[in-house]
Amino acid sequence: CSFICLGALITTIIVLPFTLLAFLPLLCYFIWVRNIFVTTARELKRHEGLARSPIFAMLGEALGGIATIRTNGAVRYFKEKFEKVHNAHSRAFFAFMSSSRWLGFRMDSLMFIFISSASFLAVLFSSQNWFEVDAAILGLALTMLLQLSGLFQWAVRQSAEVVNLMVSVERVNEFGCLEPEAALELDSDVATAWPQHGSVEVKSLAVRYRSSLPLSLRGVSFRIEGGQRVGIVGRTGSGKSTLVQSLLRLLEAEKGSILVDGVDISSLGLHKLRTSISVIQQVPVLFSGCTVRENLDPFHSYTDQTIYDALSDVHMINTINELSDGLNSVVAEGGSNFSVGQRQLLCLARAILRKNKILVLDEATANVDMRTDKLLQEAISKSFAGATIIAVAHRLDTVIDYNK
């Protein structure tokens, strides 16, 4: 299309050289208009992309928790919230489309002026005998100019659209330029049996989420002896989960260090560190589309009997046996074929299989009923006797029986 437009312009200028009188000032105007459009449309496209993300995020949240939303009568609230984010995206999208119409109107006006000027000058020069040209060739030039009107606008739109869509490339590139995590494996990794005692020592730890943000943890120091049960209690935003993330090196320490059995975790590969610590989160995570066996033992490291023993410890063996395919039963989307409490018990069974010396409970009992809470506590006391347990909680009664 661009070559067709260029060919039409060259043909017109060769046949009617005097059209340069109109073409040159219009070309300057075109470059000025296009630069304004590209700059504006690129920012509008970036804003539209940012406004689109909350829509998909909210749709995913609503679909995942639709039962809870309906049970609590929060349909209207979520509908109003969705309309708000949708309207924000619609405003950004409408502004972006309006910028295209702004360009289209000016391109149409530009081509109208150019074609009219070329036709007027051709008639004027021919009538005054200032320039002789064959009528057939003149007709060819004017016909190509008429075709140029639509093609030229389309070519300009496509060139501008390429610039606009580079915003998407820019956003992908931002993820590609993120600082990578540390190595999964290091030659300095400790023996397979590490940690043997499960002691944890934090020395003057300082952590921040990004370099531009203030410190989330500042000068934190404490020591947990192996086999102790320790509670970390505080209000929302006090840094409890940040400490857990630092222990797993999801966040790297800016200052200070964390020692596990006397070994600085910054000297370990991430795979060795994270497989040596079991974590049970507030929201239980099961892998949809995988079997119960694959959820409990994704690397096929344990026998069926070992898996059944772990299920027996969390009182889930009868529930699994009642399924049509037992351990080979497929977990539905979001684990919806299990209750929240059952999903949490399955996560605990997964941790029991690992037999790690350190167990981290991040509000693990916050979303379960009293019966499931009791089952969790019994299973933890039985299966992790002698292990170090670090429990993150909002309430003191959750960790009232702990050592610290």
Domain with 287 in it: what CATH number? 3.40.50.300
CATH number at residue 78: 1.20.1560.10
pLDDT > 90 fraction of the chain, expressed in percent and rounded: 11
- Tokens 């007709």 identify what position? 139
Q: Quick check: 131 pLDDT over 70?
A: no
Q: In terms of domains, do 233 and 374 share one?
A: yes
Q: Is residue 209 part of a domain?
A: no
* Dihedral angle, C-alpha 215, 216, 219, 222, nearest 10 °: -160
Mean pLDDT score, 10-21: 74
Cα 381–chain centre separation: 37
Contacts of 88 (CB under 8 A, 6+ apart): 51, 54
Q: In terms of domains, do 166 and 86 share one?
A: yes
pLDDT grade for 350, boundaries at 50, 70 and 90: very high
Q: In terms of domains, do 58 and 150 share one?
A: yes
Q: Is residue 347 part of a domain?
A: yes
Q: In terms of domains, do 301 and 387 share one?
A: yes
Q: In terms of domains, do 367 and 304 share one?
A: yes
Q: In terms of domains, do 156 and 233 share one?
A: no
Contacts of 58 (CB under 8 A, 6+ apart): 78, 81, 82, 85
Tell which residue, 111, 155, 117, 152, has the closest CA to residue 20.
117
**Domain around 366:** 226-238+268-399
Q: Is residue 185 part of a domain?
A: no
Mean pLDDT score, 368-374: 80
Contacts of 334 (CB under 8 A, 6+ apart): 64, 286, 288
* Structural domains of the chain, count: 2
pLDDT grade for 129, boundaries at 50, 70 and 90: low
Tell which residue, 177, 181, 345, 338, has the closest CA to residue 249.
181
Residue 65's identity, in one-letter code, is: G
Mean pLDDT score, 211-238: 85
Mean pLDDT score, 80-92: 92
Q: Quick check: 15 pLDDT over 80?
A: no
Separation CA 235–CA 218 (nearest Å): 17
Q: In terms of domains, do 167 and 232 share one?
A: no
Q: In terms of domains, do 128 and 232 share one?
A: no
Q: Is residue 182 part of a domain?
A: no
Mean pLDDT score, 92-112: 85
Domain end marker among 176, 193, 217: 176
Q: Quick check: 287 pLDDT over 70?
A: yes
* Dihedral angle, C-alpha 299, 301, 307, 309, nearest 10 °: -150
Q: Is residue 253 part of a domain?
A: no
pLDDT grade for 133, boundaries at 50, 70 and 90: low
Q: Is residue 199 part of a domain?
A: no
Q: Is residue 214 part of a domain?
A: no
Q: In terms of domains, do 164 and 278 share one?
A: no
Q: In terms of domains, do 172 and 306 share one?
A: no
Q: Quick check: 137 pLDDT over 80?
A: no
What end-to-end distance do the CA atoms of the chain give, in Å?
74
The Cβ of residue 245 has, within 10 Å, a number of other Cβ atoms equal to 18
Q: In terms of domains, do 35 and 124 share one?
A: yes
pLDDT grade for 91, boundaries at 50, 70 and 90: very high
Q: In terms of domains, do 61 and 140 share one?
A: yes
Separation CA 136–CA 285 (nearest Å): 76
Mean pLDDT score, 68-74: 86
Q: Is residue 100 part of a domain?
A: yes
